[in-house]
Amino acid sequence: MNKQWLLAQRPTGLFTPQDFELKEVIIPELTDEQFLVRVIYLSLDPAQRMWAQMDTYLPAVAKGEVMRCLGMGVVIKSRSPAFKEGDVVQGMTGWQTHVITDGRGYSQVPAKSGLPLPVYLGPLGMTGITAYFGLLEVGKPENGETLLVSAAAGAVGSVVCQIGKIKGLRVVGLAGTAEKCRWLKNELGIDEAINYRDANAYAQLKTACPKGIDICFENVGGKSLDMALGLLNVGARVPLCGYISEYASSEPGPGVHNLAALISKRAKIEGFLVLDYVHRSRDALSDLGKWLMDGRLKYNMDINEGFESLPEVINKLFEGKNTGKLLMQISAEPE
C-alpha cells in the first residue's frame, strides 16, 4: 500500500492537519519504462508553503493531489532500462511512501560515496546549489566584502555563510535563537551571529558590519530586509532567495520601508530561482563536494520521523525551529 498526504485545502497561516488528507492506495502494476520507488527521505523546504497556496513558478498543488516535495528513495521494482532495482534516486516524490515514475526529473544518487545519504538532499543537493549560485552568480562577491545572511542557520543560509568564508568575505549571520548563533559562530566559523529577536538587533548588526553591507543574502524579507537596507554600501547586491516572513502568515507580513536606500546606494534586489541554474549543477556540486570532503563545509541535519506528523513537522521551518536541513525519514536506508 502507498500512504499519501493529499492537499485538502489551501493553507492560510501555518499548516494544519486539516489542510491535508491522509490516504492509503493500492500500488498499481508497473508498465513499460516505469519503476517503483520506496521513499526514504522527504525534503521539507519553505517553498512548499507557496506551492500549496498559489501558482508561482510552478502551478499550485491541486486540491486532492499529493503534496509536492523533493525526496529520495530506493528503486524496489523496475521496468526501466535506466533505473534498476537497488538504485538510490531523488526527484519530486511528493509526500508519499511510494512513487511510480518513468524517471523524468529523477536522478541517481551516488549512494556508495561514503557520504551520508541525506547530504544529497542538503549541501550536495538543491539546497547547496541554491546557496552556491545565489551567492556567487547573483551576489557576485569580491574578496574582503561584507556578507549578511538572514536565516543563517537554515539549510541554505548555513551553506551560504560557509561559501562566504571560503571566498574571503566577512560573514555576519542573522538567526532566531542564541543557540543557533553559537552554532554559526563556533561551528561554522562566521564572523558574527546576531539574534534578530534581540531588541537591539539593529545596533548589533551595525556594530558587526563596521564597513557596511555589500551583499545581503536574503531568505526572510520584511523587517530583516529593512534592517539590511539601512546598512547597504554603494553598489550592494541583495540576492532574494526566499521570503519566509510572508510564507506562513495569514496576514500580510510587515512591509518593507527602506527601499529608497537602493537609490542613493545604486543597489539592487534581485530574485532568483535555483531552477534556472540546474543545468549547471555539476560545477556547483564539484566545488561543494570538495569543500565537504576537506571539512570546510559543515552541515546540520534535522531528521524527523513519523509520516503521520508531516503537517506539523514542516511548520518547524516557519517557526524557526530547525537548524540546518529539515528532513523527514519515512523508511529505512538500504543496508
For position 240 contacting a second copy by CB under 8 A, the verdict is yes
Q: Nine-digit cell at 282?
A: 555539476
- Under rule CB under 8 A, residue 285 binds a second copy: no
Taking CB under 8 A as the rule, does residue 256 contact a second copy?
yes
How open is the CA angle 256-257-260, to the nearest 5 degrees? Answer: 115
Instruction: Evaluate whether 228 touches 150 at the Cβ level (below 8 Å).
Output: yes
- The answer to whether 264 contacts a second copy (rule: CB under 8 A) is yes
Nearer to a second copy by C-beta: 256 or 303? Answer: 256
Q: Are 151 and 157 in contact (CB under 8 A)?
A: yes
- By CB under 8 A, tell whether 262 contacts a second copy: yes
Q: Judged by CB under 8 A, which of 26, 260, 295, 332 binds a second copy?
A: 260
CA distance 218 to 204: 18
Between 56 and 309, name the residue whose CB sits nearer to a second copy: 56
Minimal distance in Å, beta carbon 254 to a second copy? 7
- Output the smallest distance, CB 90 to a second copy, in A: 23
What is the pairing mode between strands 146-149 and 170-175?
parallel
Give whichever of 89 and 136 is closer to a second copy, judged by the CB atom: 136
- Name residues contacting a second copy, limited to 206-235 (CB under 8 A): 221, 225
**Beta carbon nearer to a second copy, 120 or 243:** 243
Binding string to a second copy for residues 40 to 79, with x set by CB under 8 A, is what? Answer: ----------------xx----------------------
**Candidates 36-44, 238-246, 291-299, 312-320; binding stretch for a second copy (CB under 8 A):** 238-246
Nearer to a second copy, 22 or 262 (CB): 262
Strands 35-44 and 88-91: unpaired
Checking DSSP bridges between strand 35-44 and strand 325-329, what pairing results, if any? antiparallel
* In the complex, minimum distance from the CB of residue 276 to a second copy, in angstroms, rounded to a whole number: 6
Cα separations in angstroms, 84 against 78, 80, 93, 221: 6, 7, 17, 43
Shortest distance, CB of residue 212 to a second copy, whole angstroms? 14
Give how many residues touch a second copy by CB under 8 A: 32
CA of 192: how far to CAs of 112, 253, 261, in Å? 37, 27, 24
Place of cell 551567492: 135
- State how far the alpha carbon of 185 is from the alpha carbons of 78, 101, 195, 207, 262, in Å: 47, 43, 12, 16, 29
> Smallest distance from the beta carbon of 29 to a second copy, in angstroms?
38
Q: Which stretch binds a second copy (CB under 8 A): 77-85, 145-153, 272-280, 317-325?
A: 272-280
Distances (CA, A) of 41 to 10, 58, 253: 24, 22, 32
CA 246 to CA 306: how far, in whole Å?
Answer: 27
Query: What minimum distance in Å lies between the beta carbon of 135 and a second copy?
Result: 15
Which residues make up the interface to a second copy (CB under 8 A)? 56-57, 221, 225, 240-243, 246-247, 252-257, 259-273, 276
